[in-house]
Structures are given as C-alpha cells and as structure tokens.
A and B are shown apart, each in its own frame.
Chain A
Amino acid sequence: MSEATLQRPRPVALARLRHATWQGERIDWSAYLFILPFFLPFLLFTLIAVGFGAYVSFTEWGVIGDPTWTGLDNFRRALADPFVPKVWANTLKYGLIVVPATTIVALAFALFVNQRWWGATLARTVFYAPNVVAVTVIGLVWVWLLDTRFGLVNQYLGYLGIPNVPWLTNPAWVLFGIALASIWWDAGFSMVIFLAGLQDIPKELREAAQVDGASRFQVLRHIVLPLLRPAMSLVITLLIIGTLRVFSQIYIMTNGGPANASASVIIYIYRIGFRDFDLGYAAALSLMLFATILIVTVVEMRLLRVQRW
C-alpha cells in the first residue's frame, strides 16, 4: 500500500486510521492483504460451497434447470430409502474394523521404530512409504494381492493350510479385504503422530521408572500409554473422519460390490449425484454424512476424555 495514495484524500482521517488501535495495540492494516490470497479462494470454494450445498439439499435439482425448493423432501426420502441404512451400516462397520486395527498397528509400529535398534530408520521408511503412493496404486495392487485363487495373500495362507478366502468377491468378507488395503496405506501416517507423542515424553521419566525396577511392559502400561493420550485421541479422531469418508479405495477395488456389501456412503452419494445427476438428494446425503461425522467425533472425544488407562 503506497502511502502517497493513501494520504492524499483526507489526511486527518487516514492518519487516525493508520494509528488506530485494537485491544491496546496498533492495527496492522497490511494483515488483510496478507490473508487475501488465502481467504478469497477459501470463501469461494469452501465457505460459499458449504452454504450452497446446504441450500441445495433442500431442493430438487438435476444439472439442467434451476433448483426448486422442496423443503424436507430429500430427508424424508432418505429415511424411506432402503439403501440409506445399508450404506450407513457398511460405512460404520468398515470404521469399526479399520479404526481399532490401524490404531493398534500404528502404535506398535511407533513403539518399534522409536527404539534405538538396528534397522529402526529403515523400518520407519518402509512403514510410511505406502502413505505417499496414489490411491489408485493401493487399490489395484491389493485387488491383485487379494485375488481369491492366485493372490499372494491366499497363496501364503494356503501354505498355512487355510483355505482360500474370497476377500473381495464375498459380501461377508469384502469390507475386511478393503480394510487390509486401507491399513497398509494409512498406518504409517498414524505411526508418525504416535512418534511425535513418544518423542515428547521426557526420557528421565522412563529411566527413573526403570531404575525403580519397572519392567519394559510396566513402563509402557503406566508411563508411556497414559502420556500418549493426546496423540491417541488425535489418531482416532483423524481415523474416524477418514473412514466415514471412505471412497477412492472402494471405487477402485470393488465399486461397492458384491451385492452392494462394500457400498460406502460416499460411493452412494457419487452414484446419486454424478451418475443419476440427482444433485439435491446427493447434497442432502452429504449433509447427513457431515452430521454423522460430527456426532461420532464428539462422542469419541467425550469418551476418550473420561476414559482412564
């Protein structure tokens, strides 16, 4: 902001503005220019989009023409839609598999790579690596690994005498199959959050406990785990939000099949909105998903806060 142009029209008022204070300190007017490059797209593509999405969910709308206000019709339709409980149940079931499994795997990984053992750095690299790879790769590689007859997983299980598991072709197994891929993809990220938490634990605490004769397990149980609670809470929250939004892996691996057993909420929203172009109903379902995420997250945070180790 050049001072010359600022001061020309009304010097007194502008000088007052330049020295204006807020909460006892001079206001940095340039701050608004600093935040503009972020807030302009943020306003357009996030805030307005959210508001517009909420509005569209009360309308009926194909791509052509204008939305017509239908009040709560979309939500009434959702309550009567037999697919809605189905896809919500699928998604929650998937979350119940993936969230605990990923948390446990990631915690074990973090405890392992946090040791000063030979190979710990290598292990950290390998555990995190799947996280940087595109979801297309995760999906396709696991379709191949989980192939019922020739997939690597079933071949090795066969060596152990376990009969072929129809990972992706049987409605009872498909969510487990997709969960395997998701855990492989995501555990590294949660591991890093746990690692950050572990590195915040003062060494003196553990050493003192060990001097007092505590075993490795006791140190873990009574010192490390309680102090990891903030990290644990963050990991679980992020995993819940992530699993309720699951889409890409499923789209690539099964596209919701077999018999819709792996159709997640967003798979269904995608079909309604972008295959049938029933945008009003799709927006209403998105709003319901957002409400679900909000409720589950709040409940989870409450539970974790009161829980004792």
Chain B
Amino acid sequence: MVSVATPADSQPQPRRRVSGTVVVLWVLGMLVVVAWAAPFVWMVSTSVKWPGDIMTRDIEWLPRRVTSENYAKVFAQPVLRWLVNSLIVATVATAFSLLSGAMTGYAFARLHFPGRGVLFFLVLATLMIPSEMTIVPLFIGFLRADLVNNYAAFILPSVASVFGVYLFRQFFLSLPRELEDAARVDGAGRFRIFFSIALPLARPAVIAAAILLFTTNWNAFLWPLLVAFTEEMKTLPVGMATFAPGVGGQTQLQSFGPAMAAMTILTLPSLLVFLVLQRYFIEGVISAGIKG
C-alpha cells in the first residue's frame, strides 16, 4: 500500500518544503479523483429521484425528494433469481478454475516432466486468441450437446483459466522450496505435499486469484447473453441490461430512474468486495501480469 506521509514521520528526515508545483498538482489530481467518483454518486442520486425530478435544468446532486419507487420497479423483474444464478455460476466457476489453476501452476513451477515447456508455451499462446474467436464454435458445440440455458452451459467454458495458471506458476516459482523438500525426504507424495504444504503457503496468491477470477466471472456478459434463453436463467449483468434505455434504439428518458436503481443494485456487491479487499485486488494484478 502507498503509505500516507504524516507530519510526525518517525525518521528524522530533513523536512522537504512543499513547493508550489506540488500544491497545484495535488489540487488537480484531487479534482480528477472527484470527477472519477462522480458517475457512481450520480447513479445513486438518480436512483432515488422521482421521475419528474430526474431531468432538471440545473444539476441536482442531492435529490429534493427521495423515493424507493425505482427500486420497486426493478424488483418487479426476477432480480433475486438473477442474483442467485450469478452467485452459483461465479462461485462454481471460480472454485474450479482456482483448483485447476493452482495444481497446473504448481506442476509447471515445481514438477519435472517431458512436455512441460511446450505445454506452457501453448497455454501462453492462447492468451493472444480473442475469446470471441472461440465463441461461435463453442456456441454450436453447446447447442448440439443441448447444453444451453442451464448452469453447466454458463460454467463449463470458464473452468480453465489461463490467467490462473500463469498467476500460480509465478507464485510457486518465487516460493522457497525447502519446506517441500523436507516433506519429500520424510516420504510424502506429491499430492500430499501440494495440498498440505504448498497450497496453504500460497494463500496470498489464492486470495488474489480468487478475487480477480470471481470479478471476471461475475461480470461476464457476452457468453451468458448467448446461452441464457429464458428470463429466469439470466445472470445479473445480462438481466439488468434489459433496463438499458439505449438498446433497441430510442433513448427513453423516463426509464433512467429504474435503470440507475438496477445499476446501483448491480454495483454494490462488487464495489463492497473491492473496498474491503482492495489491497489484494491491486497487489494481485501487480503480481499476476507484470513481474513475469
């Protein structure tokens, strides 16, 4: 974390004078911070406004009158069902890809076997392939296998995460192997070593990968849009898109209240998780893609 310098910094350093440039840059930066947060505030503000108060000549950040009518409109749709769908899909997909990613990453980092280099290169190479390229054939395959409009259809394509493999390989490469070697001398098998020693030590990587994979799965859009055929099988992001005033052409201004209520509901879970675990989020991104 970036530590915030306090006036009472313990180390006796020569106090640097705060220059004019620094003040100007700081003020500018903070203005951008406010602007960056503004869409969220505006979204929540709009979501509790009465329809008549949404379009005003002057900007009203604070609603003059508050209503829950917009939220009532949103909950007239099967929102709770969508929420449950999203939770099931994202949780199962994340759990699977975590386990497969950790095991495969461990094998690439620690175990010695013919084909290791080739297979790892193959995994990395697919990072270049846009998932859209597989989406037509996957859709056909799933349609033919009658694997549409159910949870398996949502989950299966995301149980193998190349990103997860990469992240865990990097982590295990940087982990000292003494503990594992000691266990090996004591006669423990590879699987015992992995599950009782290596995996517990990989807790930071597991948390980082879990958060990142969960967000990805939670926010997935194109694939769930394709394989959900009925209202009650939609995931939350796909279902909530029905509140879009833009889709279908003409913007219907009346619908911004319910739309922003729906977006507030959709935003809160991910934003809360992020705020609580943000250290792991950002460090996870840093350790994953970059130090390779």
**A and B held together in a complex:** yes
Interface residues of A (CB under 8 A from B): 22-23, 25-35, 37-42, 45-47, 49-50, 52-53, 56, 61, 63, 109, 112-114, 116-130, 132-137, 139-145, 147, 149-150, 152, 155-156, 168-169, 184, 189, 192-193, 195-197, 199, 216, 231, 234, 241, 244-245, 247-248, 251-255, 257, 266, 269-270, 273-274, 279, 282-283, 286-287, 289-290, 293-294, 297
A234 to B42, CA, bound (A): 33
* Mask of B6-22 contacts with A, CB within 8 angstroms, 1/0: 00000000000000011
A279 to B143, CA, bound (A): 13
A133 to B247, CA, bound (A): 20
A49 contacts B138, CB within 8 Å? Answer: yes
B285 contacts A31, CB within 8 Å? Answer: no
A34 to B199, CA, bound (A): 13
B113 contacts A28, CB within 8 Å? Answer: yes
Q: Specify which chain A residues have a CB less than 8 angstroms from the CB of B230 in the assembled complex.
A: none
B56: Cβ under 8 A from any A Cβ: yes
A–B pairs, 18, beta carbons within 8 Å: A32-B113, A34-B190, A35-B108, A41-B159, A46-B129, A56-B136, A128-B282, A129-B271, A130-B39, A143-B246, A193-B289, A254-B246, A255-B246, A266-B132, A282-B136, A286-B132, A286-B135, A289-B133
Q: Specify which chain B residues have a CB less than 8 angstroms from the CB of A29 in the assembled complex.
A: 113
**How many residues of chain B get a CB closer than 8 Å to chain A's CBs?**
109
Q: Specify which chain A residues have a CB less than 8 angstroms from the CB of B101 in the assembled complex.
A: 38
A282 to B133, CA, bound (A): 9
A40 to B277, CA, bound (A): 32
B130 contacts A290, CB within 8 Å? Answer: yes
B76: Cβ under 8 A from any A Cβ: no
Given contacts A129-B274, A192-B286, A274-B139, 10 further A-B contacts (CB under 8 A): A27-B112, A34-B107, A38-B103, A50-B133, A118-B5, A127-B33, A139-B241, A139-B246, A155-B59, A216-B21
For chain B, what secondary structure do more than half of its interface residues adopt (helix, strand, loop), or is it mixed? helix
A234 to B290, CA, bound (A): 8
A275 to B99, CA, bound (A): 36
Q: Specify which chain B residues have a CB less than 8 angstroms from the CB of A150 in the assembled complex.
A: 54-56, 253
B289 contacts A52, CB within 8 Å? Answer: no
**Which residue in chain B gives the minimum CB-CB distance to A192?**
B285
A186 to B110, CA, bound (A): 35
B229 to chain A, nearest CB (A): 12
Q: Specify which chain A residues have a CB less than 8 angstroms from the CB of B116 in the assembled complex.
A: 31
A39 contacts B119, CB within 8 Å? Answer: yes
A3 to B108, CA, bound (A): 24
Q: Specify which chain B residues have a CB less than 8 angstroms from the CB of A33 in the assembled complex.
A: 191
For chain A, what secondary structure do more than half of its interface residues adopt (helix, strand, loop), or is it mixed? helix
Give the most central of B21, B140, B218, B275: most A CB within 10 Å. Answer: B140
Name B234-276 residues within 8 Å CB distance of A. Answer: 236-238, 240-241, 243-249, 251, 253, 256, 259-260, 262-263, 266-267, 270-271, 273-275
Q: Specify which chain A residues have a CB less than 8 angstroms from the CB of B259 in the assembled complex.
A: 140, 144
A21 to B5, CA, bound (A): 56
**Which residue in chain A gives the minimum CB-CB distance to B161?**
A38
A196 to B291, CA, bound (A): 8
Closest 3 CB pairs of A and B: A31-B111, A34-B107, A41-B160
Q: Specify which chain A residues have a CB less than 8 angstroms from the CB of B281 in the assembled complex.
A: 128, 132
A124 to B221, CA, bound (A): 26
With A129-B274, A248-B222 known as contacts, the answer to whether A53 contacts B104 (CB < 8 A) is: no
**Which residue in chain A gives the minimum CB-CB distance to B123?**
A42
A57 to B160, CA, bound (A): 25
* Mask of B63-103 contacts with A, CB within 8 angstroms, 1/0: 00000000000000000000000000000000010011101
A139 to B90, CA, bound (A): 21
With A31-B112, A255-B248 known as contacts, the answer to whether A286 contacts B136 (CB < 8 A) is: yes
Contact with B286, one of A139, A140, A196, A266 (Cβ below 8 angstroms): A196
Q: Specify which chain B residues have a CB less than 8 angstroms from the CB of A120 in the assembled complex.
A: 2, 4
B2 contacts A116, CB within 8 Å? Answer: yes
Contact with B114, one of A27, A124, A244, A269 (Cβ below 8 angstroms): A27
